[in-house]
Structure 1
Amino acid sequence: MAKPKKKLPERSADIICAKCKTILFKYKKGGKGSLVKCFKERIVVDYTETPCECPSCGNVFAREALVRGTPAYKIISGKAAMK
């Protein structure tokens, strides 16, 4: 499997908690599909104190994983959304 491209995509998205609508991080998303995973190297601004957990409501929205040999967050379906 190929690694993600080194050059960051132009499109920027705000990732928000689906439960309380708090901004979790700003992310450089490639493609037009739904939010399935977030590569850690593409996160521009991280608002979370503990990884994969919403700072205001404590909702666990993702799991840490290696995707194509690169550290990433695998989003749990329905727990986080793009804005």
Structure 2
Amino acid sequence: MAKPNKKGPVRTVNIHCSQCRTKLYKYRKGGKGALIKCFIERITEDFTEQLATCPQCQQVFARETMIRGTPALKMIGQKVFMK
């Protein structure tokens, strides 16, 4: 399969922890569907200290994986939401 477009989409969304409402990432998302995965190269601002862990409540909200040969975070259902 083809790799995702590096420049990616222009639209940015804020990703928050659903348990404590802490802001986690600012992310360039493509499409209008649910947030299932985040390509690490599309994260514009990272507010976490440890990868895929909320800095406030220490909840693990994603798993690190490779999708189409690119490092990504696969989101665990209902642990994050986007605005």
* 2:41 partner SS: helix
Percent of residue pairs bearing the same amino acid type: 58
TM-score, length-scaled by structure 1: 0.97
| Unmatched segments (≥5 aa) in structure 2 | none
RMSD: 0.6
* 1:55 partner SS: coil
2:16 counterpart residue number: 16
| Unmatched segments (≥5 aa) in structure 1 | none
What amino acid maps onto 1:33 in structure 2? G
> Following superposition, which runs of at least 4 residues in structure 1 exceed 6 angstroms of deviation?
none
TM-score, length-scaled by structure 2: 0.97
Q: How many residues align?
A: 83
CA-to-aligned-CA distance 1:7-54 (integer Å, 9 cap, x gap)? 221110000000000000100000111000000000000000000100
| 1:45 is the counterpart of 2:45 | yes
